[in-house]
Amino acid sequence: MDIINVAVDGPAGAGKSTVSKRAAAYFGYIYVDTGALYRAVGLNALRLGINTRDAERVAETLKDVKVSLGFKNGEQRVFLFDEDVSDEIRTPAASMAASDVSAVPAVRDFLFSLQKDIAKKNNCIMDGRDIGTVVLPDAKVKIFLTASPEKRAERRVKELREKGRDDSYEDVLKDIIERDHNDSHRAVAPLKQADDAVLVDTSDIDFEGSVNTVINIIKEKTR
């Protein structure tokens, strides 16, 4: 049986991870959040006191860093060395660090083979910024999931509130707009919709509707 890979790209806060995770569970596929890998590299740099926009120093950290994925009951867990940092990498600081280090070619090369190896061996839904354009250009299904910056900020604030954080809507919106600009204007593998990707704008669709839309696209493309 052929391996089925689904590439889901889109900007920060578009709901890629939550929607992809649900869709992967529906089909019995592995869910791979590639952004988490960049967050782990960024977190490592932050812990070392390195400016995450200093490409040369960030590249130097790759000689010693160990980043890996684990799967428990179908749920992805992210490890920095042997520490589970799945929760710590979700802070705003880690998000901005991820955006910075993802623009470093050495970091992308470092994580590229890990992502490709997972996709080669498993039916999976992989989400990120350049999955359909760079990592899995031959993916059976490609989806570009997006929403307005304001709607994404609103959803992210709600998510942070549920985790006990009190980040302001204005700060979260500012971070999202800044990250959109950084991700779409970087020289290496910028965020963009693949030519053959299906565009899904969830600004006016609730979570269940977004999940059902993605599931139906996958069914149609793999029929």
pLDDT, tens digit (0-9, with 9 covering 90-100), for 49-72: 999 999 999 999 999 999 988 877
In this predicted structure, what is the pLDDT of residue 133? Answer: 94
- For 48, other C-beta atoms within 10 Å of its C-beta total 13
pLDDT, tens digit (0-9, with 9 covering 90-100), for 125-183: 999 888 999 999 999 999 999 999 999 999 989 988 998 888 999 999 999 999 899 88
Average pLDDT of the chain is 92
CA 131, CA 116: separation in Å to the nearest integer? 10
Residue 8's beta-bridge partner residues?
A: 127, 143
| Nearest of 172, 44, 43, 62 to residue 113 by alpha carbon | 62
**Relative orientation angle of helices 169-185 and 92-101, to the nearest 10 degrees:** 10
